[in-house]
Amino acid sequence: MEHLLIRGKRPLVGEVSISGAKNAVVAIIPAAIIADGVSIIDNLPAIEDVKCLQDSLTKLGAVCQLIDEGTLMVDSSALNNFNATFNSVRRIRASYYLMGALLARFKQAKVALPGGCNFGTRPIDLHLKAFRALGAEVDEDYENGIISLKADKLVGTNIFLDTVSVGATINIMLAATLAEGVTVIENAAKEPHIVDTANFLNMMGARIRGAGTDVIRITGVKELHGAEYMIIPDQIEAGTYMIAAAACGGHVCVKNIIPKHMDSLTTKLKEIGCRVIEGDDFVEIVSEGRLKSTKIKTMAYPGFPTDLHPQMAAGLSKADGVSILTETVWENRFQYINELRKFGCDIMVDGRVAAIHGIEELHGAEVMATDLRAGAAMIIAGLTADGITKIGNVRFIDRGYEKIEYKLKALGADIKRVKE
């Protein structure tokens, strides 16, 4: 059993380098199996979700191994199995991308229902509706937790997404790359990792236009080939360190990022009293004195990301005044609030809205990471609290943050991992 132990109330000062984007790499690794060849993926983050996918691809018959620190080779030429029902698939959310990728390659797939963070219902109806529209038969076996897909052929079509969905947008791109004719996704999600996945697929020979806008056009091609690709920096990891710097006070340079991806957060950090200096591939956060309160509503990109909401709630717990945080993407993302209250945070929740009454001082607490980003929020609260904080369920945090305690320690935080 591992815990993080934090002694709080130290300013953060220095530089932190951001790893490759979790939500891009978990789509790009499955995308690599559509080609019958070798792909090289650079800037790979060392996180548990990647290990899970590596394990899944290996079980499917691909060779999927690190050839260097941060570089993964996927050789899918020997991949001969479309039955992905093993445990590593059930452990993470993004294994739903194996549906689109295997369907494109074999015209059939059997995939265990995805796991991952639990913040309310996480349906995949839009994914399945789109696979059906492309010509696949879909069998939903919820008793055994398995989705089976089969098509004689996939044929391009127009797909309007009722809800803006990152996963459905990417899954349709994957499935449609080798379909006959043209597929048009309307009301597509626009997150940076959608553009990144489309760029990788295009380097593999796909014809995808419009990724990053709400209309994406995929012209089917006969086959894809392997490609070498560098994953974009992680917008959410970068945002987590930016919020930590704002909350702890200090001066932090968050390096190797795409500052444009951070616009919604940068605007908020300025609003609550931080100085933000933007460079070509970095932002510096200078935070002095008490933060001001604000209003935040999570939205699809380029809005404020839901995946930064818990960290921001922790960061605003000591702000001057009442902050209002409205969650519009996930119905039940507020489970972590009970854990934040253990630090003394004064937060009221009504449906999808949280009112955070800023208090002068948080005190260290013994808490659990209830999911990945909630875990990051516990770290931020612990860093700003007086005394010692002990965080359990660290495995959630390891799913998406590379070497988090080392990166924070380098900024001056007093944090360590302990085994019990």
* Contact call for residue 240 and ligand UD1 (CB under 6 A): no
Q: Which residue's CB is nearer to ligand UD1, number 219 or number 335?
A: 335
* Contact call for residue 94 and ligand UD1 (CB under 6 A): yes
Site size with ligand UD1, rule: CB under 6 A: 20
* Contact call for residue 126 and ligand UD1 (CB under 6 A): yes
From the list 160-168, 175-183, 196-204, 284-292, the region that binds ligand UD1 by CB under 6 A is: 160-168
Neighbouring-strand partners of residue 275: 286
Shortest gap between Cβ of 389 and ligand UD1 (angstroms)?
Answer: 25
Shortest gap between Cβ of 394 and ligand UD1 (angstroms)?
Answer: 19
* Contact call for residue 124 and ligand UD1 (CB under 6 A): yes
Q: Could you list the active site residues?
A: 117
Q: Which residue's CB is nearer to ligand UD1, number 164 or number 362?
A: 164
Stretch 336-365: interaction string toward ligand UD1, x if CB under 6 A: ------------------------------
From the list 164-172, 209-217, 280-288, 410-418, the region that binds ligand UD1 by CB under 6 A is: 164-172
Q: Which residue's CB is nearer to ligand UD1, number 199 or number 293?
A: 199
* Contact call for residue 23 and ligand UD1 (CB under 6 A): yes
From the list 10-18, 122-130, 338-346, 405-413, the region that binds ligand UD1 by CB under 6 A is: 122-130
* Contact call for residue 54 and ligand UD1 (CB under 6 A): no
Judged by CB under 6 A, the residue of 68, 125, 140, 361 near ligand UD1 is 125
* Contact call for residue 192 and ligand UD1 (CB under 6 A): no
Tell me which residue has its CB nearest to ligand UD1.
167
Q: Are strands 38-42 and 71-75 parallel, antiparallel or unpaired?
A: antiparallel
* Contact call for residue 95 and ligand UD1 (CB under 6 A): no
Please state the three-class secondary structure of the chain as a single string: CEEEEEECCCCEEEEEECCECHHHHHHHHHHHHHCCCEEEEECCCCCHHHHHHHHHHHHCCCEEEEEECCEEEEECCCCCCCEECCHHHHHCHHHHHHHHHHHHHHCEEEEECCCCCCCCCCCCHHHHHHHHHCCCEEEEECCCCEEEEECCCCECCEEECCCCCHHHHHHHHHHHCCCECEEEEECCCCCHHHHHHHHHHHHCCCEEECECECEEEEECCCCCCCCEEECCECHHHHHHHHHHHHHHCEEEEEECCCHHHHHHHHHHHHHCCCEEEECCCEEEEEECCCCECCEEEECCCCCECHHHHHHHHHHHHHCECEEEEECCCCCCHHHHHHHHHCCCCEEEEECCEEEEECCCCCECCEEECCCHHHHHHHHHHHHHCECEEEEECHHHHHCCCCCHHHHHHHCCCEEEEEEC
Binders of ligand UD1 in range 290-319 (CB under 6 A): 306-307
Q: Which residue's CB is nearer to ligand UD1, number 165 or number 287?
A: 165
* Contact call for residue 235 and ligand UD1 (CB under 6 A): no
Please say whether the beta carbons of 379 and 408 come within 8 A.
yes
Shortest gap between Cβ of 330 and ligand UD1 (angstroms)?
Answer: 6
Question: What residue ranges bind ligand UD1 (CB under 6 A)?
Answer: 23, 26, 93-94, 122-127, 163, 165-168, 189, 306-307, 329-330
